[in-house]
A and B are shown apart, each in its own frame.
Chain A
Amino acid sequence: MAKFMFLHRGECGGSAERSPEEMQTAMQAMQAWMERGQSEGWLLDAGDGLKPEGRVVRGDTVTDGPFAESKELVGGYCMVEAADLPAAAELARSMPLSGDTIEVRELMGHSME
């Protein structure tokens, strides 16, 4: 088994135009997905959302960032375990997020023994 990080790009299911009812439905679908991951054991860490504001440090310069457009912005992450990259991508596909992008990246996971 290998470990993967899911990076959510986009609004993470939350556009300003969403109605409260739609938000509740989306949240409950996402919760169900997370709960399934926990009970089946492939969700290693439910992760967290990331606030949009931040700082970008490049050498000695510190600027307000990030500079990515909001649909490119990393809005959250979580960690899962899967047999291989295709299996991980399949799990990402089952995430009930509408309109967002999920980047699936395998951790290098080299043992230091």
Chain B
Amino acid sequence: MADHAASAEAPQLVEHFFRHESTHLVAVLTRAFGVRHLDLVEDTVQEALLTAMQVWSRRGVPKNPGGWIYRVARNRLLDALRRRSTHQRLVEAIESPVDSGPALDDEWWYRDQVPDSLLRMLFVCAHPALDRRSQIALTLKVLCGFSLAEIARGLLLTEEATKKRVQRARRRLAKAEVGVDLPPPDALDPRLAVVLEVLYLLFNEGYSTAAGDEPLRDDICEEAARLCHVLCHHPRLGTAEARALLALMLAHSARLDARLDSDGGTVLLADQDRALWDRRLIAHAELWLARSRTDAPSRYHYEAAISLTHCRAASIDATDWPHIVALYDRLLALHDSPLYVLNRAVARGESGDVDTALAELDSIRNRPEMRRYHLVDCAAGRLHELAGDRKAARRCYTSARAQSTAPHEQRLLDNRLTRLHGEC
């Protein structure tokens, strides 16, 4: 093959090349041929990647790997559709002409289509015809390039359940005859709000330590941020809210590496080595938050501001806790969530007002969302520690330990209890 370079200066693939290229190909080809061929497009792209893997293993990576793989995928898809159309006369129904028109032939055309196609697919995956869990699973499959096994691991589902969920989502989209279009301007805002929420949940899915030390979860965060980044560069879709969400993701991502110790255990904010925080990501987060200025800040604005307040502090003691309390006040004015109350109580306790903080915790203890939620006891334990009441702290941590199910959380609480015991 002429376009393979000599092995001496063989081009190397960038990290995650296959994963990202597969999402680009699926997005561009689905846009060209329609959502009802999503299944076929995904299979064809998978085959093209397998071919690339086998050929490049032996001959090295071609000079233009993206163009190489695009040609293989496009030709196979055209072949498959032609084979179908001779039987079923589907040609008329295909949105783009099946004969390889000049546009599809051009790799530059393909490159040009990538960002716009990814965004359109984002609206397809976050379509209101699907429930939230299906939207997340389908986004992970189509737009993040994860396999069903990886998605199952990331979402703590069985592989079979994941497969069913994704298949059902594809069928429902085909049945609803969903087009690969951006919503019209008058319908954009609610649809964009769903897209942002899916990205937010996707990111949280990766960020939450509930599943312990699965390295894939960092990748989910990275993919969510990548998609949000594409969104923010679009003139119409890169709204203040989208930019704030990106700032939030970047600020959290900056602390990903410091969250785990060498044994995969969780390191709490207070104990994190702040030298491990990624300064470059923090700077980008600051930049995007500055670009997100608006008269009507969203929850993403306040959550990003809270995260960045932590990032700016040189130590846990140097944290501007009153500012964080004020930001939670604003969040609560937007949305009355007991989780915000819980986090505000911790911040309030850190800023010195433990009594009010404990009273606030008691006020949410019986809210249905917080029952059997061990974080209330964790927070109460921390507050008692701050007030110097080790006995009460021990009682709270012991209760939290009894309710916690995740091994890494239990380990964390055991450490806390041991430390308290040592100090007595």
A residues adjacent to B (C-beta < 8 A): 12-14, 16-24, 26-28, 30-31, 34-35, 38, 46-49, 75-76, 78
Given A23-B49, A38-B7, A76:B149 Cβ within 8 A: no
Residues of A within 8 A of B373 (CB): none
Tell me the residues in window 269-299 of chain B with beta carbons closer than 8 Å to chain A beta carbons.
none
Bound Cα distance A47, B54 (Å): 11
Report the tally of A-B residue pairs with Cβ distances under 8 A: 77
Given A19-B19, A27-B57, A31-B61, 7 extra CB contacts under 8 A: A17-B148, A19-B145, A19-B147, A21-B16, A22-B147, A30-B57, A30-B58
Residues of A within 8 A of B21 (CB): 20
Tell me the residues in window 123-169 of chain B with beta carbons closer than 8 Å to chain A beta carbons.
145-150
Closest to B19 in A: A20
Bound Cα distance A35, B50 (Å): 20
Q: B398 an interface residue at 8 Å Cβ cutoff? A: no
Closest to B57 in A: A30
Q: A24 near B60 (CB under 8 angstroms)? A: no
Query: Which of B19, B46, B147 contacts A24, CB < 8 Å?
Result: B19
Report the minimal beta-carbon distance from B54 to chain A, rounded to whole angstroms.
4
Query: Which of A17, A20, A24, A46 contacts B58, CB < 8 Å?
Result: A46
Given A19-B19, A21-B19, A21-B145, A27:B56 Cβ within 8 A: yes
Q: B340 an interface residue at 8 Å Cβ cutoff? A: no
Give the one of B10, B50, B147, B150 with max A CB within 10 A.
B50
Residues of B within 8 A of A76 (CB): 54, 58
Bound Cα distance A76, B55 (Å): 10
Q: B59 an interface residue at 8 Å Cβ cutoff? A: yes
Bound Cα distance A17, B50 (Å): 11
Give the one of B19, B53, B56, B149 with max A CB within 10 A.
B53
Closest to B12 in A: A28
Given A28-B13, A35-B7, A20:B54 Cβ within 8 A: no
Given A19-B145, A19-B150, A14:B50 Cβ within 8 A: yes
Give the one of B13, B16, B46, B219 with max A CB within 10 A.
B46
Q: A14 near B19 (CB under 8 angstroms)? A: no
